[in-house]
Structure 1
Amino acid sequence: MRLSLPPRLIGAILVPIVRLWCMTLRLERRNLAVFKDPALRARRPVIILWHDEIFPLIPSHSDEHMACVVSQSKDGELLATVLEGFGFRTVRGSSSRGGMRALVAAKRFMEEHDLGVIFTVDGPRGPRHKVKPGAVFLANLAGSPVVPVRVVMERAKIFHKAWDKFQLPWPFSRCVIVYGDPVDLPDCTRDPEEMQRQCERIEELMNSLGAI
């Protein structure tokens, strides 16, 4: 008989393990001044990243008054617990579960708490490294810029069977976090073709940031 633990319990067990693991990493952050700019924070940015690169970002922004959009799945429940253990707020919902209601809820959360959100633009199910419209919709709804972020890991265990090929950096390895400049997107909520163009534009930006 298999014993299935609740995702919240697994997440609570993982928090101290992740904290110890992350303490060994050699983190280097590039273009951080732009990211920390108070004028940018005042605009409540939508910070975008790839799903497989999230691990080193958790300790980098611990207790910095930030929020993450996390899916409503069981995996999302686990991730939300870990993130909350590092001081992040979480907004539950994604483009695949909850749809537009989740994005409207995220916009309302940004306004009520006066903060931006972190959004994995290829999550929660992929395709890997393909920008989906959710973050673009949210940026349009909130009138926020998007800020692309990439992580390049020197040595990492890649989980090839996972849809995102999740990367877990080995202890004591170097991780370079690259912050892109903020980008203001045109309103394309009523224009599917323009929406697709903006997704492709963001994808190009993300790919260029990873070429360090």
Structure 2
Amino acid sequence: MKIPFDPACLAPFIAFLFKLWARSIRYEIDGDWDGFLALNRQAKPLILGLWHGELFPATAFGYSRCDRLVTFVSQSKDGEVIARVIERLGHVTVRGSSSRGGVRALLKAKRIMEKENRIGVITLDGPRGPRHKSKDGVIFLAQRVKGVIVPLRAFPKRAKIFNSWDKFVLPMPFTKCRICLGEPMEVTREKLNPEVMAGERKRLEARMRELGRDHE
């Protein structure tokens, strides 16, 4: 008889392993991280925007430096495991992505950010790409919360790069990792029609490329 196995039951072990891994990494920060945290304490809505391929080192950095995040996780089975792990790191998750449940997740994140003064975290090109092409969600959310988008890039010195659509980066334990933070991006207050949205995405993508110019 086949015994069903729920991979989500591994979340406690995965979270424990992730915490050890994250604590071993030595972060070097380019940008005013403490200033962003100070803005958050003053109830300024902030959204960290990152590429899907840098999710591991960026999440590890977030775990080690901030306990007031709300992050987006897809509604897939893999997403259930990831959500449980992230919640064990002390953060809040909302379930949804650009391909499924996105609007509902964005509105839920907005309520959490406003009620609990948490920093939003979103993978700009996730969950399916194309790589380094921003989706609309982060622009929509930033406008609705009247907040700013803080571009974030993560560059581990030693890492395994997978042959996946996002070129997923797995930092080696005990490596150095440079975290690059861009200037906060104020989004337009215009109505987000397709033309305006496309322009805002291009502005954000340009800022992300500039952060990676000297590291990729």
Structure 1: segments with no counterpart, 5+ residues: none
Aligned match of 1:44? 45
Aligned match of 1:17? 17
Aligned match of 1:5? 5
Alpha-carbon deviations, 1:47-75, whole Å to 9, x = none? 10011112123332225211111111112
- Name whichever of 199-208 and 110-119 sits farther off: 110-119
**Which of 188, 191, 194 pairs up with 2:193?**
191
1:99 corresponds to which letter in structure 2?
A: G
Q: Secondary structure at the match of 1:46?
A: strand
Aligned match of 1:208? 210
1:193 corresponds to which letter in structure 2?
A: E
Q: Quickly say closer, same or farther: Cα 1:144–1:2, change in 2 above 3 A.
A: farther
Alpha-carbon deviations, 1:4-33, whole Å to 9, x = none? 632421322211111222232221112123
Q: Secondary structure at the match of 2:185?
A: coil
Alpha-carbon deviations, 1:79-135, whole Å to 9, x = none? 111211211111111221113222222212222222221010101111111111110
Q: Quickly say closer, same or farther: Cα 1:40–1:48, change in 2 above 3 A.
A: farther
Contact 1:140 1:187 in 2 (8 A): yes
Q: Spell out the pairing of 1:115-134 with structure 2 (5 A cutoff).
A: 115-134=118-137
**Which of 80, 90, 96 pairs up with 1:77?**
80
Pairwise CA distance, 1:3: 6.9
Distance 1:139 1:2 in 2: 47
Structure 2: segments with no counterpart, 5+ residues: none
Distance 1:127 1:108 in 2: 29
Aligned length: 211
Contact 1:140 1:188 in 2 (8 A): no
Contact 2:11 2:84 in 1 (8 A): yes
Distance 1:46 1:103 in 2: 12
Pairwise CA distance, 1:188: 4.6
Pairwise CA distance, 1:205: 0.3
Q: Secondary structure at the match of 2:56?
A: coil
* Moved beyond 4 Å, runs of 4+: 1-4
Aligned match of 1:111? 114
Distance 2:8 2:52 in 1: 20
Contact 1:34 1:181 in 2 (8 A): no
For normalisation by structure 2, the TM-score amounts to 0.89
1:59 aligns with 2:26: no
Q: What's the Cα RMSD here?
A: 2.0
- Name whichever of 11-20 and 194-203 sits farther off: 11-20
Aligned match of 2:173? 171
For normalisation by structure 1, the TM-score amounts to 0.90
- Name whichever of 60-69 and 90-99 sits farther off: 60-69
Contact 1:58 1:86 in 2 (8 A): no
Q: Quickly say closer, same or farther: Cα 1:36–1:59, change in 2 above 3 A.
A: same
Q: Secondary structure at the match of 1:127?
A: coil
